[in-house]
Amino acid sequence: MLIHLMQHGACLPKELDLNQPLSPVGREQVEKSAKAARILGLFFELVIASPKARSLQTAEIISEYTGYPISHIEITEAVKAMASPATTLDFIQEYDGLDSILIVGHLPSLTNLASQITIQDTGLEIDIQNSGLMQLEVASPKKKGTLNWHLTPIQLAEIARN
């Protein structure tokens, strides 16, 4: 199973909008990352997002570019900012057998999840930036996996440009 992790795009500050949807800059970041995902030939059998507006908006944009049905995005608390890796892994365990999933979430849960999958610990610091994308490979959601690649928003924008 390929597990793709993406932090939502940059959002508006709480002072402007309590729901913190994507900012115009964040939307542009995500669109570039989504275009790069399409160029890279990524496809997803499942897209998961947190209930937060910025996460769901990011998942919708990625889904649109990669051909995943927006109406099938799985919205869950299991990928919120403070969700434990165990909670997220329990959730995706239900989808064991799929080849490729995308989790659009928040920090620190994404970095903790990546650490848990790659080294079976949450002590590794991985810098996941807004609209950055990484791919992990696992035989099963609760087994140790491998980091295949990690692309920053700048790298994704460069891919999208070509």
Q: Where are the domains of the chain?
A: 2-10+20-161
Q: What is the mean pLDDT of residues 100-129?
A: 87
Residues in contact with 134: Cβ distance below 8 Å, sequence separation at least 6, in sequence order: 4, 5, 6, 114, 126, 128, 147, 148, 149, 150, 151
Partnered with residue 149 across adjacent β-strands are 135
Q: What is the pLDDT of residues 13-25, one digit of tens each?
A: 999 999 999 999 9
Topology of domain 2-10+20-161 in CATH is Rossmann fold (3.40.50)
Q: What is the pLDDT of residues 73-88, one digit of tens each?
A: 999 999 999 999 999 9
DSSP 151: E
- Report d(CA 12, CA 25) in Å as an integer: 9
Residue 129, classed as helix, strand or coil, is coil
The burial of 77, by beta-carbon neighbours within 10 Å (0-12 exposed, 13-18 middle, 19 or more buried), is given as exposed
The answer, yes or no, to whether residue 56 has pLDDT greater than 80, is yes
The answer, yes or no, to whether residue 54 has pLDDT greater than 90, is yes
Q: How far out from the chain centre does Cα 134 lie? A: 8
Q: What is the pLDDT of residues 138-162, one digit of tens each?
A: 988 888 899 999 999 999 999 999 7
Report pTM: 0.93
Give the model's pLDDT for residue 121: 67
- Report d(CA 144, CA 140) in Å as an integer: 8
| Adjacency order of strands within the sheet including 133-137 | 74-75, 46-49, 100-105, 2-7, 133-137, 146-151
Q: How many CB atoms lie within 10 A of CB 142?
A: 15
